[in-house]
Structure 1
């Protein structure tokens, strides 16, 4: 409603400036409708910063209409009054620009509906690893928190409640992954397509588990579209937040944790720092697997319904490197997938003995570094198990995330011309999940499947099995 209202106000304002005749004929009907629309929008949807230029514009346009109705033509207007009228038209015309720009970032992003056969449930777990100190804080008493949001195939008859998109919505820091918090004022209204307090689907006794690690600094929430869709295909996806690196997350005691980076001396490219963070993240994933093996850790709705013999790890960007590192160091994991992630430390020299998948964005658009190309190439070359690599043309690094959906269609189109990603997040994520589901099927106990077949359903996806 909000964007449609803004378009209506902008069209009305332009018409008042362009033609007095149109203004005189349209205004008696259009102006009351738009004013009522503004009131209804405010009452139903609340205040967003994006609406301020729209409200100012409609007020100015209304004033111009009243003046034009009072003085129907320039011939009837004295020279004294003619200049203010021209200035008024100019002001209204100029106000169209900020009103249009304000709506380039949508107040409530629209996430895609999951494409799998299952409804989706979700539940958040905030755990504390008593065996690990929290090295990011100053207190020696602090222990490592790991926050996990489970997304799972749900009972289709259960209604449940709406899940919140982002941790700490009422207590956000000034910026969240370079985005100012004012942009997220309406994010409590995002439909994640996941429902809380719903039972897991009873079609299977136990469901395979996939750990998901997000990109560096990115909250797990920014992958909701991808994760919810994967859960709808028959996986329990455990999305992990890594506190004090992620932009914002809520700890077990209710604290809102924000980044605390401790960069190292003599580390100009931050490779040593990133290698250390990779170790922290891999330990987080090992702790999650530990929790899965403890009775009743997953609560009454999920405990006993997870196939803990079939667990894989996937991730995007730095999270993809985390998944690969976890596979190299944890024999309990059956497979891993790296979505567009650069590898750090000694990881490229590891020899993986279980299946590994690399899905990457268009190199021509993302411009992957030499470290990305040589590191992933070396890891795949050393494989002693099936290895796959696919490149999705017209997808950029952010196409796997919800970030493009934070923009209105015109802004998304402009961004695609500047930084790539014209395939769009919907098709990019659907293709990625088709490939992921086919890749994970055999190592997670569901029988053989061919990722090449999944990739072939889409145009301009290149690659295949490399080992």
Structure 2
């Protein structure tokens, strides 16, 4: 793990940092948050981590009101130093980011609230490669505020540093600048998929829900992810029919996810304009196969491009760079495109929210899901597949 001395020496300046809050969730509920470490061994784990467990962060709706200065911290000091170097942001400024998450806030208790949310699919999220799930907090919080239970997975040892709850020591992982070979990417996909399938299996989330007597849905799931997390969600869908829909956020398909069959389950894929320069084959082949399957079976697929975006703009990273000051006379070393962080944040929340609302059987927002709209001119539709036919493919 590489933490530059120059950045460490700047940490005392954090006393001057002013708290900056992520965009507020848009739903009717506040957001509770808890974490659980599941025991699950990864054979021949390639990471520096123990290979014996994974961390699940649980976002859920609550009616509890957030008290001042009690939200779940966004950054821990070690991670802030690591990621601050990449984006030329003082660690103290990254630590100043605030969430609206409430640690282990009470579950919904009013009968009307419980009835409204208990049958929504539980959404399972896998982050981009080498990234902590926490760096997608804005989107995950927003979905929870809409009434969904959201599970986000972290594999200890993959990200440069992963803080663990309940007094457990954090886990140091691969260096943030480590290059990824094609073979290693497939290995990452395989242990990510194994973690997700274990989480949805009898000894994972269902057992945890039974232990605590919660109303969370353990019969129907939605799977989604960013980058390699998109492949994780797709591969898990191929092996678990309780996953009723998938959302791939700018993620190429790897390993056996390339040939995953959706059996007509809804699938949304969105990418940056340069995606096909690195992944010329997997998305077009997937969409073609889905289209061919839809001729004889139900089907629903959207494939969009967000013009002006870049790969990391689909995460909270673009918000860090927009909302926080950079170290003077420096620029971010990673391309985030020319769409602002707050606009990308609103855009992704809008489309993800509309998609999951459709999946759960709620109101269908054809304005967003069926083609280009004036509100989001940067969203271009590459393909739409519908049951027993196609529109715009």
TM class, shorter-length: 0.7 to 0.9
- CA drift of 1:182 comes to 8.3
Match of 2:146 in 1: 233
SS in 1 for 2:36: strand
Secondary structure in 1 matching 2:218: strand
RMSD: 3.5
2:307 counterpart of 1:393: yes
1:114 touches 1:229 (CA, 8 Å); kept in 2? yes
SS at match of 1:319: helix
**CA deviation after TM superposition for structure 1 residue 136, in Å:** 3.7
Q: Mark the CA change 1:453 to 1:120 in structure 2 (over 3 Å): closer, same or farther.
A: farther
Deviations 1:127-164 (A, max 9, x none): 212x544624689xx55211111111111457594212
Contact 1:171 1:256 (8 Å CA) reproduced: no
Quick check: 1:349 aligned with 2:281?
Answer: no
Q: State how far apart, in whole Å, the 1-side matches of 2:79 and 2:66 are.
A: 31
* Corresponding residue for residue 428 of structure 1: 344
Partner of 2:106: 199
User: Does residue 73 of structure 2 align to residue 164 of structure 1?
Assistant: yes
Aligned to 1:125: 36
Aligned position for 1:460? 378
Write out per-residue CA displacement over residues 198-257 of structure 1, whole angstroms, 9 at most, x where no aligned residue.
122341331431111111101112111121122212211111112211222135771321
What CA distance in whole angstroms lies between the structure 1 residues aligned with 2:11 and 2:84?
Answer: 20
Answer yes or no: is the 8 Å Cα contact 1:312–1:444 preserved in 2: no
Partner of 1:70: none
Indicate conservation of the 8 Å contact 1:213/1:239, yes or no: yes
Q: CA deviation at 1:338?
A: 0.7
C-alpha distance 465-340 of structure 1, shift in aligned 2 (>3 A): same
2:287 aligned counterpart, secondary structure: helix
Q: Identify the match of residue 58 of structure 2 among 150, 160, 164.
A: 150
More helix by share: 1
The farther-off stretch of 451-460 and 109-118 is 451-460
Distance 2:139 2:185 in 1: 25
Distance 1:238 1:51 in 2: 32
Aligned partner of residue 99 in structure 2, secondary structure? coil
- The answer to whether the Cα contact below 8 Å between 2:90 and 2:326 also exists between their aligned partners in 1 is no
| Residues 1:151 and 1:396: Cα distance change in structure 2 (over 3 Å) | same
The offset of 1:459, in angstroms, is 2.0
Following TM superposition, by how much is the alpha carbon of 1:357 offset from its aligned partner in structure 2, in angstroms? 0.9
Structure 1 residue ranges without an equivalent (≥5): 1-46, 55-105, 262-267
In structure 2, the CA distance between the partners of 1:158 and 1:424, relative to structure 1 (3 Å rule), is closer
Q: Tell me by how many angstroms 1:417 deviates.
A: 12
Provide the rounded CA distance (Å) in 2 between the counterparts of 1:191 and 1:124: 18
Assess if the C-alpha contact under 8 Å between 2:271 and 2:305 holds in 1.
Answer: yes
2:136 counterpart SS class: helix
> What residue number does 1:114 align with?
25
- Cα deviation for residue 51 of structure 1 reads 7.0
User: 1:283-362 maps to which residues of 2 (within 5 A)?
Assistant: 283-290=194-201, 291-294=204-207, 296=209, 300=212, 303-353=213-263, 354-361=265-272
Q: Which one of 218, 223, 235 corresponds to residue 131 of structure 2?
A: 218
Higher RCO structure, 1 or 2 (CA under 8 Å, sep 6+)? 2
Secondary structure of the 2:360 match is: coil
Distance 2:248 2:303 in 1: 10
Give distance in 1, aligned partners of 2:189 and 2:334. 31
TM-score (norm: length of structure 1):
0.66
Q: Is the 8 A contact 2:30 2:64 kept in 1?
A: yes
Shift of residue 171 of structure 1? 5.0
Per-residue CA distance 1:301-351 (angstroms, 9 max, x = gap): xx4321222211111111112111111222221111111112223422333
The one of 224, 245, 258 aligned to 2:172: 258
* Farther-moved stretch of structure 1 (414-423 vs 214-223): 414-423
Larger Rg: 1
Count of residues paired in the alignment: 350
Q: Which runs of 5+ in 2 are unaligned?
A: 1-9, 294-298
